[in-house]
Amino acid sequence: MNKIKAGCYLLLLLCAACNTEGGKNRGPIVLGDTSTIVTETEEKYLTNFVDDIQVLPREAEVPTDTSSLAAADTTRATDTATPPPVAASEEPLLPVAPAGDAGDGLHVNFKEVQVFLPGIEAKSFRNQNPARSNGVSYQLTDGNIRGNVLKITGATVTRVSQRYITTVIAKNELGTLNLESLGTTTEWRQLQGRNGSYTISGLEPQRLQTRNVPAANIRNAISRAARRQRLSRQTVQKWEQVARRITSVRQKPLSLALRSVMWKVEGRDARGRSFTKQVRLDMPL
């Protein structure tokens, strides 16, 4: 009971201390009344318990100084007047003849060697940089490669090889069909040469290699090619009648055609490291 009385007495003292300060009731705080503002003066209650907020600068501040605005305008004008330089990997689509090398033809400038086909004009369908690659491909637009000469300069060349791809063409009054499935790809064959000149041989029509194709495969190839061209049903049937009499890819109206020729150049550079470069030339059909 004594503890309960002591607790009640303490509670009354606390209430009296809250309602009076120095024996005077200050009343509620009135908004805008400076006399009711409590100002702390003890140093220990003025200590920060959190770090100051660090304001990060924006990624792109708008300049307020007129001189900085003028400098920015000058920079933009300079960038507009002078376009950025073209990257080294962006090469023209057509091959460029090296300086000091006279003669028209196809020039392929690899890092180690330079390959030249005189009298040949070709185009490329993609961006190529021979100096940074081991192989390039072009399509023939003018000139003749049969009996031509492959000229190679630069590093030491140990071997030059050639291979080609053929296709079979069916041509008569009904039209022309390309029977690629009946073609063949040859093995690499070494070319003979001297003083950097290698004679291109073996590409004559009568010397083109072929393979034995069953008559049934020939009939199927002709039928598929005719249907692929979306010919009329009557024309497809006429082609199929023609195919029944064909037993060889060299029998008329079939003929062999050169599709692509590839050359492989092997050698060693100035440091003795071996390299292999390839050039492919596709024939128009």
Q: What is the pLDDT of residues 25-54, one digit of tens each?
A: 445 555 555 555 555 555 544 444 343 433
56, 178, 231, 236, 237 from 228: Cα distances, Å: 66, 10, 8, 10, 14
The closest of 104, 98, 108, 100 to 118, measured between CA atoms, is 104
Structural domain of 181: 105-282
Across the range 7-34, mean pLDDT stands at: 54
Tell me the average pLDDT of the chain: 77
pLDDT band at 9 (very low <50, low <70, confident <90, very high): low
Structural domains in the chain (count): 1
Residue 226 lies in a domain: yes
- Give a yes or no: residue 9 inside a domain: no
Q: What is the pLDDT of residue 202?
A: 94
> Does some domain include residue 164?
yes
Whether the pTM exceeds 0.85: the reply is no
Structure-block tokens of residue 178: 């390309």
Give, to the nearest 10 degrees, the angle between helix 233-243 and helix 215-228. 160
Instruction: Name the band, by pLDDT with cuts 50, 70 and 90, for residue 8.
Output: low
**205 part of a folded domain:** yes
pLDDT digits (tens, 9 = 90+) for 157-168: 999 999 999 999
Residue 144: inside a domain, yes or no?
Answer: yes
**Residue 126 — pLDDT band, cuts 50, 70, 90?**
confident
Per-residue pLDDT, 33: 53
What count of other Cβ atoms lies within 10 Å of the Cβ of residue 178? 19
Residue 266 in contact with residue 157, Cβ under 8 Å? yes
33 in any annotated domain? no
DSSP 284: P
**pLDDT value, residue 100:** 33
Give the whole-number percent of the chain exceeding pLDDT 90.
58
Q: Kindly indicate the confidence band of residue 125, based on its pLDDT and cuts at 50, 70 and 90.
A: confident
Asked whether residue 141 is assigned to any structural domain, the reply reads: yes
Residue 62 lies in a domain: no
pLDDT of residue 14: 59
**pLDDT reported for residue 155:** 87
Q: From CA 49, how far away is CA 31, in angstroms rounded?
A: 28
* Residue 116 CB contacts under 8 Å (≥ 6 apart), including other chains: 101, 103, 105, 106, 107, 108, 150, 151, 152, 153
**Rg from Cα positions in the chain:** 44
Interatomic CA distance for residues 101 and 224, integer angstroms: 48
Arithmetic mean of pLDDT, 181-189 = 95
Please name every residue paired with 114 in a beta bridge, in sequence order, or none if there are none. Answer: 109, 153
Q: Which of 83-92, 108-117, 216-225 is predicted least confidently?
A: 83-92
Rounded distance between C-alpha atoms, residue 278 and residue 134, angstroms: 6
How far apart, in whole angstroms, are the C-alpha atoms of residue 222 and residue 194? 44
